Structure 1
Amino acid sequence: MPNNTQRIVAAIVTAGLFVGGAWVASGFTTDIDQAAASTTGTSQDKGLTVNLHGARSTKGNVIVMAFDQATAFDNMDYTKAAGYLEAPASEDPLRFDFPDLDSGYFAVIAFHDENGDYDLNYDANYIPTEGYAVSGLNDLNDTPVYDYSLIGTEKPADLTLFYWP
């Protein structure tokens, strides 16, 4: 059984590794191309802004929905979305501005509707066949949870479309 001195030393070493690791990680950056212009034609600096990256083709449209209700988010019910925008797909970053959504928190779902049927399509194993992105989703194998997906309007949100092989 460790004595108190060993426990204190272990706690200090753990804290040092944690702080040192965070300091080292803070020096790493990734360059993400910024969307040059809004797909909605607005130039306002207020409201929710979503920068969407990673479309694999220019086929179809990209649809972005912002939700302020858990039930609508869980069902991907675009009729109850707080904001809904779509734009022609582009391999360049796209910027979606929701100027009316200027306060509060929203959960965002985006998908690349390559075949133009306005649905996120799935294969027989219920794996999406089109690209998608969900705010706050860190593990693409998990089911999106509304409370964990909420983002604020104070700064643009960067989302990257994910495509299963």
Structure 2
Amino acid sequence: MAVTLQSLETKGLPPVNDWHPDFCGDIDMRICSDGHWEYMGSPIGRESMVRLFSTVLRHDDDGHFYLVTPVEKVRIRVDDAPFIAVSVEQISHQHVFTTNVGDKVILNPQHPLRLSDEGAGVPYILVRDRLEARIHRNVYYELVNRAELRMLDGQEQLCITSGDHYYSLGMILEQD
């Protein structure tokens, strides 16, 4: 089972972080907050095309998202996170998320879960190289059902365990 889990993280992707082409400009492509991709205002309906684009996506230090090949780099718009975690399963005491583009991500220190700073504390998981997936509401509720109360950082929090690590789904606030 450990070999299977490890193979999820070593799936071959293009080495976009090793490519440093010149910036070629903006392209009218957008990843919407619900996870669907658009080109010139129209949805990209072919899942294989979206998957291909997702493999050459990069989030640079300037905060922008780019599609990168060895010879060109174009900026696209991303409303929230570029991916959505659409399902989760527990394999060998680890939570494995699947994104809307088919990536499999093991919740671990290399792929942590974080809550946004916004009031609702929207959960995200790091997929790879500064690219995150927003955890879909249904998946979040599934995690809440698996969670337990723990003291973390001096606060009572709702936590899930993945491997030997605890991840907070949020603090428990006292009602007045």
Query: Which structure has greater strand proportion?
Result: 2
User: Looking at CA atoms only, which structure, 1 or 2, has the larger radius of gyration?
Assistant: 1
Q: Which has the higher helix share?
A: 1
User: What TM-score do you get using the length of structure 1 for normalisation?
Assistant: 0.24
Structure with the larger RCO, 1 or 2 (CA within 8 Å, 6+ apart): 1
